[in-house]
Amino acid sequence: MKILHHPDKADIHLSSVLYALSDPVRLYLVAELHKAGERTCGDMEVPVVKSTLSHHSRTLREAGVVRVRVQGTQRFLSIRADDLEARFPGLLSSVLQAYETSGGKDQFLAKEL
């Protein structure tokens, strides 16, 4: 089984986090994870193909935004909220609040479909 790299808390960089959150699909994924907690990639209702979803989850993982836990053939994603809050206090909540204020899921799905 391939071991997935997750950056240590001290190695999470603001530029990487902001880049990861700058994509509408990745921001949608983070917002959904924030609401629901840990979810599998297959549970995520995202209008992209599986390979694209894998790319987005890898980008979020490598930036330190999410943790990916492998169990059998499934990959469970969860937000590294404590690590992000420790490194960049208030960043995640501010980004998610702005996302919701600007239309959130409804606006995202309207653009993607």
Domain boundaries, given as residue ranges, for the chain: 11-95
Cβ atoms 68, 61 nearer than 8 A: yes
Cβ atoms 54, 62 nearer than 8 A: no
Token pair, residue 45, equals 């209702």
Cβ atoms 65, 79 nearer than 8 A: yes
One CATH from 3.40.50.2300, 1.10.1040.10, 1.20.200.10, 1.10.10.10 for 11-95: 1.10.10.10
pLDDT tens per residue, the chain (113 residues)?
577 899 999 999 999 999 999 998 899 999 999 998 899 877 877 778 888 888 999 999 999 999 999 888 888 999 999 999 999 999 999 999 999 888 776 666 555 54
What is residue 47's three-state secondary structure? coil
Quote the CA–CA distance of 68 and 74 in Å, as a whole number.
Answer: 10
Rg value, the chain, Cα: 13
